[in-house]
Amino acid sequence: MKIAAVQRPFFSYPESYAPLNKKNSMSVPKFQGADIFCFKGNQKQNSSIIPSSNPTDLEVNIEEKTGIVPTETTVKKFKNGETYVNIAGDIRGKDVYLMPATGKNVNDNLMETYLKADAAKRAGADRVIAIMPNFDYARQEKRTEKGEPIAARLNMDLLKTSGVDEIITTDLHTPALEGFASNDMKVVHLESTQLMADYIKSKEIPDLVVVSPDLGGTKRADKLAKALECERAVVYKSRKAHNQATAEDLIGDVEGKNCVLIDDIIDTAGTIAEASKLLKKKGAKDIYVCAAHGLFNGDAMKKLSDAPIKEVVVTNSVPMKADSIDKIKQVDLSLAIAGAMKEISPDLRDNN
Ligand code: R5P
pLDDT in tens, 232-259: 999 999 887 887 889 989 999 999 999 9
Residues paired with residue 83 on neighbouring β-strands, in sequence order: 77
- Gap from CA of 108 to ligand 1 centroid (Å): 22
Q: What is the pLDDT of residue 135?
A: 97
CB of 266 within 6 A of ligand 1: the answer is yes
CB of 270 within 6 A of ligand 1: the answer is yes
CB of 271 within 6 A of ligand 1: the answer is yes
pLDDT in tens, 261-272: 999 999 999 999
Contacts of 137 (CB under 8 A, 6+ apart): 151, 152, 154, 155
Cα 287 from Cα 280, distance rounded (Å) = 8
Q: What is the pLDDT of residue 352?
A: 62
Instruction: Kindly list the catalytic residues.
Output: 237
- Gap from CA of 339 to ligand 1 centroid (Å): 29
Is the distance from CB of 171 to CB of 192 less than 8 angstroms? yes
- Ligand 1 test: best mutation among 106, 136, 139, most atoms within 8 Å of CB? 139
Cα 123 from Cα 305, distance rounded (Å) = 48
The 10 Å CB-count burial string (b at 16+, else e) for 209-225 is: bbbbbbeebeebbbbbb
- Ligand 1 test: best mutation among 174, 237, 264, most atoms within 8 Å of CB? 264
Cα 168 from Cα 339, distance rounded (Å) = 11
Contacts of 225 (CB under 8 A, 6+ apart): 209, 210, 231, 232
Short-list 318, 306, 260, 319, CA closest to 286: 260
Backbone angles phi, psi at 3, to 5 degrees: -120, 125
The 10 Å CB-count burial string (b at 16+, else e) for 112-136 is: bbbbbbbbbbebbbbbbbbbbbbbb
Whose C-alpha lies nearest to ligand 1, atom 10?
Answer: 267
pTM of the predicted model, to two decimals?
A: 0.85
In degrees to the nearest 10, what's the CA dihedral of 106, 108, 109, 110? 90
- Gap from CA of 322 to ligand 1 centroid (Å): 21
- Gap from CA of 214 to ligand 1 centroid (Å): 9
Within the chain, which residues score under 70 in pLDDT?
A: 1-45, 352
Q: What is the pLDDT of residue 177?
A: 96
